[in-house]
Chains A and B, each alone.
Chain A
Amino acid sequence: GENVEQHPSTLSVQEGDSAVIKCTYSDSASNYFPWYKQELGKRPQLIIDIRSNVGEKKDQRIAVTLNKTAKHFSLHITETQPEDSAVYFCAASQRDDKIIFGKGTRLHILP
Chain B
Amino acid sequence: GAGVSQSPRYKVAKRGQDVALRCDPISGHVSLFWYQQALGQGPEFLTYFQNEAQLDKSGLPSDRFFAERPEGSVSTLKIQRTQQEDSAVYLCASSLASGRSRPYEQYFGPGTRLTVT
Instruction: Say whether A and B bind each other.
Output: yes
A33-58, CB < 8 A from B: 34, 42-46, 49, 51
Q: Which chain A residues border B45 with CB–CB below 8 Å?
A: 98-100
Shortest beta-carbon distance from B67 to chain A in Å: 13
Q: Please report whether the interface of chain B is mostly helix, strand, loop or mixed according to DSSP.
A: loop
Number of A positions contacting B (CB below 8 A):
25
Task: Please give, as numbers and ranges, the residues of chain A lying within 8 Å of B63 by CB-CB distance.
Answer: none
Return chain B residues, CB-CB under 8 Å to A51.
102-103
Q: Are B91 and A43 in contact (CB under 8 A)?
A: yes
| Interface residues on chain B, size class | 20 to 34
User: In the complex, which residues 52-111 of chain A have their Cβ closer than 8 Å to any Cβ of chain B?
Assistant: 89, 91, 93-104
Binding site for A on B (CB under 8 A): 31, 33, 35, 40-45, 48, 56, 59, 91, 93, 95, 97-111
